Amino acid sequence: MQRQVILASTSRYRLELLTRLRLPFEVQAPEVDETPLANETPRALAERLALEKARAVALRFPEAIVIGSDQVADLAGEPLGKPGDHARATAQLRRMRGQTLIFQTAVAVVCHATGFEARDLAPVRVVFRELGDAAIEQYLQAEQPYDCAGSAKSEGLGIALLESIDSDDPTALVGLPLIRTARMLRAAGVDLL
Question: What are the residues whose beta carbons fall under 8 Å from the beta carbon of 49, sequence distance 6 or more?
Answer: 32, 34, 68, 70, 106
Alpha-carbon distance of 130 to 157, in angstroms, equals 16
Catalytic residue status for 70: yes
Of 12, 29, 150, 144, the C-alpha closest to 81 is 150
Amino acid identity of residue 166, one-letter, is D
CA atoms within 13 A on the CB side of 44: 9
Q: Determine the angle formed by the axes of helices 133-143 and 86-96, rounding to 10 degrees.
A: 130
Candidate list 33, 70, 85, 166, residue with the active-site label: 70
CA atoms within 13 A on the CB side of 109: 23
Helix (H, G, I), strand (E, B) or coil at 171: coil
Q: Is 115 exposed, middle or buried (0-12, 13-18, 19+ CB in 10 A)?
A: exposed
Residues known to be catalytic: 70
